[in-house]
Structure 1
Amino acid sequence: MQVIPAIDLRGGRCVRLVQGDYGRETVFGEDPAEMARHWQDEGATRIHLVDLDGAKLGKPANVESVKAILARVDVPCQLGGGIRDEETLEAWLGAGLDRVIVGTQALKDPAWFSRMAHRHPGRLALGLDARDGRVATSGWLDVSTVEATELAEQFDALPLAAVIYTDIARDGMLEGPNLESTRALADRLRTPVIASGGVGSLEDIGRLATLPVSGAIVGRALYDGRFRLCEARERAGEEPETP
């Protein structure tokens, strides 16, 4: 299982929110590119980026910060937040991102999402953010009536890179991921599932590693120093890099 450190961007800074609440923000760094380099130096094999302002506005906002990160690191980066049209999607892929993550627009326009997935096989991930099992959109500000598993199954035949599943109630809380719902989703999909939200200990990493998931995104626990990335990678069974 791959352990993927997260960098959430807001106003050009590296921050973390609690349960997606924009009013409960902690700033962890003024230089996101330096933070990305730090995680690469710590052994990260992929970095997860979120344009929080973009998710809220519906269009890219932290463009310069993302470009600075891409210029600073060599490992693959994936980005979600505010990607809701073809022009934006292709601009980000052209800027050097390995993957783009689409959530809101996949729910609003499934046909468009399907076309984009076929046009860019293996380069799109479905961002599946759920509150009480239902899909949340627009930077988690709106909760739909659509069940998360229903949406994921709708797109399971597409050539997606992954489904990134976040239980919003657990995000930033450090109380452990929702293992039951994560396992239930992964068991129903052929698309690789990456778990996100709630990891607070190495024990949480170990529990996730027993599930049929390909990765786990970790944020606040790393920033709070609860464990080091190398420890998490070892607990996850992630293969060490060759010298």
Structure 2
Amino acid sequence: MFIYPAIDLLGGKCVRLRQGDYSQETVFSDDPAAVAKQWVARGADRLHLVDLDGAKAGKPINGDVIRRIVSAVDVPCQLGGGIRSEADLETVFGWGVRWAVLGTRALQEPGWVCRMADRYPARIVLGVDARNGFVATEGWLSTSATKATDLAKQVEKSPLAAVVYTDIAKDGMMSGPNFEQLAEMQAAVAIPVIASGGVSEHAHVAKLSAMNLFGCIIGRALYEGTVDLSLVLATTRTDAVQKATSG
């Protein structure tokens, strides 16, 4: 299972929100590029970036910071937040981003996501942010009537890189992932599933790994020190070797 340290950007700073609430912001660093280098120094082989300003504005905003992060590290970066047009995709890929996460536009026009996946195979990630099992959009400010699994099913035949499933109720709350809904998503589609939200201890990561999820995004737990990145990486890589040799 791949581990994605999260770097959430708001006003050019590295922050974390609680349940996607912009009024519940904790600033962890004024230098997101330095944070990125820190996670890579501890063994991260990929990063998950979120442009929170972009999610709210409907277009990528933190370009300068994102370019600095990409230039500062030698690992691939995944970016979500406000990417809602082909021009936006060209922009963020031009910044050096490896994978682009599409959320709001995916709900509005699933067919467009499929076309973008065909145009950029294995570089588009479906971002499914859910509240009570239903898709939330516009930077989590609105909740739709579409079930998270139904949205994923509409695009699963496209050459997507993965689906990031975020339970908003769990995000930033340090209360554990929603294992039940993650299992439901994993069973519903063939797209690799990346878990996001709620990881606060090593046991949570171990359980997600045992579920054979493709990846896990970890945010607040890394910044507050309840999860040690080096240890988690060593454990998940050991588990992968054991599974490969036993299988």
Shorter chain as denominator, the TM-score bin is over 0.9
Query: Match for residue 41 of structure 2?
Result: 41
Q: CA RMSD in A?
A: 1.1
Cα distance in 2 for residues equivalent to 1:93 and 1:177: 30
Query: Match for residue 170 of structure 2?
Result: 170
Aligned length: 240
Give secondary structure in 2 for the equivalent of 1:17: strand
Query: Match for residue 244 of structure 2?
Result: none
After superposition, give the CA deviation of every residue in 1:13-47 in whole Å (9 maximum; x if it has no partner): 00000000000000000000000011110100110
Query: Match for residue 26 of structure 1?
Result: 26
After superposing the two structures, state which structure 1 stretch, 180-189 or 162-171, moved more. Answer: 180-189
Task: Give the residue type in structure 2 aligned to 1:113.
Answer: V
Task: Give the residue type in structure 2 aligned to 1:50.
Answer: V
Task: Give the residue type in structure 1 aligned to 2:208.
Answer: L
Structure 1 residue 231, shift from structure 2 partner: 1.1
Cα distance in 2 for residues equivalent to 1:45 and 1:237: 12
Task: Give the residue type in structure 2 aligned to 1:47.
Answer: L
1:205–1:235 CA contact under 8 A, matched in 2: no
Query: Match for residue 186 of structure 1?
Result: 186
Give secondary structure in 1 for the equivalent of 2:211: coil
Tell me, yes or no, if structure 1 residue 213 matches structure 2 residue 187.
no
Query: Match for residue 57 of structure 1?
Result: 57
Give secondary structure in 1 for the equivalent of 2:165: strand
Cα distance in 2 for residues equivalent to 1:189 and 1:150: 9
Percent of residue pairs bearing the same amino acid type:
52
2:66–2:95 CA contact under 8 A, matched in 1: no
Task: Give the residue type in structure 2 aligned to 1:14.
Answer: C
Unpaired segments ≥5 residues, structure 1: none
Cα distance in 2 for residues equivalent to 1:145 and 1:218: 28
Structure 1 residue 70, shift from structure 2 partner: 0.7
Query: Match for residue 91 of structure 2?
Result: 91
Structure 1 residue 122, shift from structure 2 partner: 0.3
1:186–1:212 CA contact under 8 A, matched in 2: no
Matches within 5 A, 1:127-146: 127-146=127-146
Structure 1 residue 227, shift from structure 2 partner: 2.4
Matches within 5 A, 1:116-155: 116-155=116-155
Query: Match for residue 105 of structure 1?
Result: 105
Structure 1 residue 105, shift from structure 2 partner: 0.4
After superposition, give the CA deviation of every residue in 1:148-183 in whole Å (9 maximum; x if it has no partner): 000001111010000000000000011100001101
Cα distance in 2 for residues equivalent to 1:88 and 1:154: 22
Q: TM-score, normalised by structure 2?
A: 0.95
1:125–1:160 CA contact under 8 A, matched in 2: yes
Cα distance in 1 for residues equivalent to 2:112 and 2:149: 19
2:104–2:138 CA contact under 8 A, matched in 1: yes
Q: TM-score, normalised by structure 1?
A: 0.96
After superposition, give the CA deviation of every residue in 1:194-242 in whole Å (9 maximum; x if it has no partner): 00000000011111111131100000000001121011113323669xx
Query: Match for residue 225 of structure 1?
Result: 225
1:183–1:212 CA contact under 8 A, matched in 2: no
Cα distance in 2 for residues equivalent to 1:101 and 1:89: 9
After superposing the two structures, state which structure 1 stretch, 204-213 or 39-48, moved more. Answer: 204-213
Runs of 4+ in 1 over 3 A off after TM superposition: 237-240
Unpaired segments ≥5 residues, structure 2: 242-247
Cα distance in 1 for residues equivalent to 2:27 and 2:95: 26
Structure 1 residue 64, shift from structure 2 partner: 0.4
